[in-house]
Amino acid sequence: MRVRELGRFIRDQRASARLSLRKLSTLAGISNPYLSQIERGLRRPSAEILQAIAKALRISAETLYVKAGILEERTDAIDIASTIRLDATLTPQQKKILLDLYQSFHASDAAPKARRTAKKATTKKTSTRPANRSAKTRKAATPRRGRKSA
């Protein structure tokens, strides 16, 4: 059943965006109970509702349409490099920069993951600050302004 898959997907996207159900419903302009029913797979939202949810989650509406079964998933591969080379509105220098940037993302797909994993394993955050002082200690340690001492 696609409605449940769609609901799970929306819930996962909301969680990764760190939005509460209430906040997402406000951003999307739909009621909190209705969004909850969508996430639980009890309601099948319209294309307009999906578009509002996608906008609030900052994801493509097409993704939600595919998950809902409104659109078929694209199977045609787009050759980005050829498209950049054929674009008549770009200068040769702009094309070169775009191609270099695009290729750098593909060349380094695995590298950032490996770096993050290694960094987490080797980096431990230690504090060099002294332990927190109590409120009384802070008050005693900071002189009051505006009063003259006798």
Instruction: Sketch the domain layout of the chain as residue ranges.
Output: 2-68, 77-109
CA distance linking residue 116 with residue 121, whole number of Å = 9
Across the range 17-44, mean pLDDT stands at 95
Q: What is the pLDDT of residues 81-108, one digit of tens each?
A: 888 888 889 899 999 999 999 888 877 6
Across the range 113-140, mean pLDDT stands at 52
- Could you tell me which of 66, 29, 22 has the C-alpha nearest to residue 47? 66
Residue 14 CB contacts under 8 Å (≥ 6 apart), including other chains: 21, 24, 39, 57
Averaged pLDDT score across all residues of the chain = 79
CATH number for region 2-68: 1.10.260.40
CA distance linking residue 97 with residue 99, whole number of Å = 6
Which residue bears the tokens 């406000």?
A: 26
Confidence at residue 88, expressed as pLDDT on a 0 to 100 scale: 87
Global pTM value: 0.52
Structure tokens at 15: 């969680």
